Chain A
């Protein structure tokens, strides 16, 4: 149990809930947000170690939230079910820690979150 703080951002309630459950099962302190605005506010308020965020969100999308995060930024793992080339390029340029293509192996997601939380320490 490492106790790292993780923010899960996804508008799909099923995805959000299962992610939270899995990460909590692995000892993370987990917050969740359903959209970009809420996520951005949460990042301002709380120092997360890792943010796992869907790219496509209602309102502002995950990439734009990533681009506006303050310093020091948390490691951001972006998730996407779509393959929008430009957004992916923008995500890489905005220093996303990794991009996870949905549907992903849960173990791979866990491995990336672990790597991201380790990278910040």
Chain B
């Protein structure tokens, strides 16, 4: 197969390298569009899904703060009912504690200010009066509905305080304080509510760095879902993002998978369509080629048939011509004799009208004789009877048979002693046809030259006139039977001439220029004896 490929024509290779067919290109573009659209739609759906999951997870985070109010209320109720039993408050506080909670306390309005009336954890001790930011927060708590929140700074330590006013009776505030360190990201654990999420929690309705409560990432500000929510009187904000897709890696990669599989499908489909299309093209090209050769064969057959019909017609014409020609020869001969007798009866007076009439009659009889000769020469294709013939003698004889008309000079040149094996009568007739044609082509006079040139193995006999010449169309038809441009003649002279030359194993060529003249050249093989004799 590899060897065969080397023999493929360059055109085939070019055809193989041609770009995609139109239909294949369209299919490829359409499929690629569908694939891209599918991929985009899938990506959007998955992104929406991701957002939905993120917002659900974030919302869950937000709701975890809703329990704070009830925890503080519970602690308040315990504080009010424990009647100074610090241990009960401490136990209750521990039961609602989370890992980051560091203190619980209850403050009560008194004359000296807000004084701690119950405490657990590492917060201020019972009896201590609170001040500063804590005092301000307590006032806010007393006037607000629901818990309030704020930062409490105690040296390097920062604490987040949630305070619920009136929770342990009028004028009381129940506190929960948790240590926070916003600068240190919190590690998420598999059980933490923010597992798999990046979270930043702000005690503000906007991502204010000074209001940051806790974060799981150093990369702040965090770009992601913003989830503001109310914790009592304050608005908190969770900004959440997911470093890893919540929908799962497979879902995340689905658009690319769809794109890849779709692109592959598109390319394969296009390739199949292209292959089928090219195969169909090849098949139709093959059919076309076969049809064309069939047509050509039919045309050849028709031509052959037409030629056959033509040959049959010519044969029929030939038979008729032969019959008519032969039958005309006798009466023509008789008329010639009669004319001779009449001529000899008119005496010696060359000017007598009768003599002129007789001359006309003789001329016409000669013309009729010539026509009959042409017909018979055409109709009876006699095989040549070969005998040695000296070319120059034969040319001289042919020239002497028909004298040139007025104004025309006949010249014989190229004297050669070459001898050919030929049927003298036939070659003479062939030359006569060429010579009379030459004479007829020079109505205004001119020169007819017959030259014989010897070349190795053959002799060229050229008959050249300075007559009207022929155009290409005429030149192509001169060897067609019954084609003639003459006002007299039946168009068989050159047909017979060609046939005679062909029968002698020779060739005839013609060279003609309109208005300049025509030159016929007969090429005839020289006699075998001459060939072997030393030149």
Listed in ascending order, the chain A residues whose CB lies under 8 Å from chain B are: 12, 14-15, 18-19, 21-22, 25, 79, 81-83, 85, 89, 101-107
Q: How far is the CA of A15 from the CA of B329 in the complex (A)?
A: 11
Cβ of A86 to closest chain B Cβ, rounded Å: 11
Contacting residues, chain A, for B365 (C-beta < 8 A): 103
Cβ of B321 to closest chain A Cβ, rounded Å: 12
Listed in ascending order, the chain B residues whose CB lies under 8 Å from chain A are: 326-327, 329-341, 344, 365, 369, 372, 376, 380, 382-383, 385
Contacting residues, chain B, for A104 (C-beta < 8 A): 333, 336
Q: Is the CB of B341 within 8 A of A22?
A: yes
Q: Is the CB of A106 within 8 A of B336?
A: yes
Q: How far is the CA of A107 from the CA of B337 in the complex (A)?
A: 9
Residue on A nearest B334 in the bound complex, by CB: A14
Q: How far is the CA of A82 from the CA of B379 in the complex (A)?
A: 12
Q: A103-B335, A104-B333, A106-B337 are in contact. List 11 more A-B contacts (CB 8 A).
A: A14-B330, A22-B337, A81-B326, A83-B376, A83-B382, A101-B329, A102-B332, A102-B333, A103-B365, A103-B372, A105-B336
Q: Is the CB of A15 within 8 A of B333?
A: yes
**Chain B interface SS verdict (over half):** helix
- Given the contacts A22-B340, A22-B341, A103 and B380 also touching, CB distance less than 8 Å: no
Q: Is the CB of A12 within 8 A of B334?
A: yes
Contacting residues, chain A, for B369 (C-beta < 8 A): 103
Contacting residues, chain B, for A105 (C-beta < 8 A): 336
Q: Is the CB of B338 within 8 A of A18?
A: yes
Cβ of A82 to closest chain B Cβ, rounded Å: 5
- Given the contacts A83-B380, A83-B382, A85-B383, A103 and B333 also touching, CB distance less than 8 Å: yes
Minimum-distance CB pairs A-B, first 7? A18-B337, A81-B329, A103-B333, A103-B332, A106-B340, A14-B334, A102-B333
- Given the contacts A83-B376, A85-B382, A103-B369, A12 and B340 also touching, CB distance less than 8 Å: no
Tell me which of B333, B337, B385 has the highest count of chain A C-beta atoms within 10 A of its own C-beta: B333
Cβ of A56 to closest chain B Cβ, rounded Å: 9
- Given the contacts A103-B369, A106-B340, A82 and B334 also touching, CB distance less than 8 Å: no
Tell me which of B329, B330, B336 has the highest count of chain A C-beta atoms within 10 A of its own C-beta: B330
Contacting residues, chain B, for A14 (C-beta < 8 A): 330-331, 334, 338
Q: Is the CB of A12 within 8 A of B380?
A: no
Q: How far is the CA of A18 from the CA of B332 in the complex (A)?
A: 12
